Structure 1
Amino acid sequence: MKMDIVKCKGLLFLGLLVLEFSWFVHGNVVFPVFHKFKGRENSSPSTLKSHDTHRHARFLSAVDLTLGGNGLPTESGLYYAKIGIGTPAKDFYVHVDTGSDILWINCAGCNGCPKKTDLGALYDPKSSNTSSDVGCGQNFCIETYGGEISSCKPEIRCSYKVNYADGSSSSGYFVKDHVTLNQVSANFQTAPTIGDVIFGCGNQQVDNREDSSTSALDGLIGFGRANSSMISQLASAGKVRKMFAHCLDNVKGGGIFAIGEVVQPKLTKTTPLLSQMYV
């Protein structure tokens, strides 16, 4: 599958690679992203402004990579992606955030999760044949917390809590399950591929936005550099290289997020450019 380069502003890489627009994704994981307010032209400017202010407040690091293309303060970064989780796979729509690390999903029985959302779904570990808890003594938990937890016992789950600058938060426990994504083959076609990923099962959410009950998504996917991020886990498993790129359509909204290496296709014919021309 080739990227639609015509309407894209550019490609951005964690590895600080500068690429020409003629390069394509090859042999790695991609998934489409959507503008959150696409198709909601009647949304008031105040609603968009409130959402964007909230989005900027949720960044956890100095990395602030705007995902929009038109530069309007009311429309920057309002993008989400669809991923499949569990067996059988169920689709979830998560906010794309390059300023945080972990992937977390609203879970069944969650306290504070929106009762009604645009896309609403809750993840239930019990309904997945491949779900398993992550114990506080497992390597993932020890690395995430920077050392062993003194009160850890074999039956205790590895918990998480993410606090954001605006007072909102997400907390719960880590689970491990299949995540289904699209992988690009040699002929630029995509096919589903499965990777085991540890992510947060959110059972307590605090959101201070007035519109949180109607505009919330199913969770959040972070693209930070920590070992707990999905991209780091996939890279550690040998699925992809630890880098990502995005190609976004600032006209219609949406685009593609690519995880892994971007390579230049082989050229069969080139046209030299002359430095001087004489008539």
Structure 2
Amino acid sequence: KKVFAHCLDGIKGGGIFAIGQVVQPKVKTTPLVPNQPHYNVNLKSIEVGKTTLQLPTDVFDTGDRRGTIIDSGTTLSYLPEVVYAPMITSILSHQSDLKLQTVENQFTCFDYIGSVDDGFPLVKFHFEDSLTLTDLVWCMNMCFFHFDIDLALSDKLVVYDLENQVIGWTEYNCSSSIKMKDEQTGKIFDVASHDISSASGLNVARLSLFFLLTAMLQNLIH
């Protein structure tokens, strides 16, 4: 079947990669936009704290060089200026004393040594069929000093179900295992995580190869 999944461990490194039907854990899904070269989905709204951003009604529509794409091969999440500007303004309004600076003529950065979870609002991206993705703010071209950057797809099991034209995810311990179903026998089996916590050059190369293979697989089975 045209189904695969990945789960990237944001703490130890490594994680899970599997091809086939995932039976446990269950994930909520959102439809893929049909007839697109990438994994386009319908983003409905963005919420900062308890406030939903007031954005143009057509800003997330899929069209020529427009739309929302789920891409496991990118480190940063990119937003158009019409979305990025009000979102960052809303986030920074919770810390009015921050001193902003520009790095490399493009990155808006600031020095912050407190708890990010306590000092900044939660950001939620709401997709069709009530699927949400949180914590993306750490990838929005912003530099945070003195703590680790949280990748958007880390610590989440992400399932690409091309048979049913949906994609889904759920928060998950990516250092554990998932349950898969054998298509021919119907038997249930475990797929465990792979640990690369030693951070050796070989492990970094393997991780790079993993992302390369993931990107190739996405193109092959799309």
TM-score range, shorter chain: 0.3 to 0.5
What is the TM-score when the length of structure 1 is the normalising length? 0.36
- Between Structure 1 and Structure 2, the one with more helix by share is 2
The structure with the larger Rg is 1
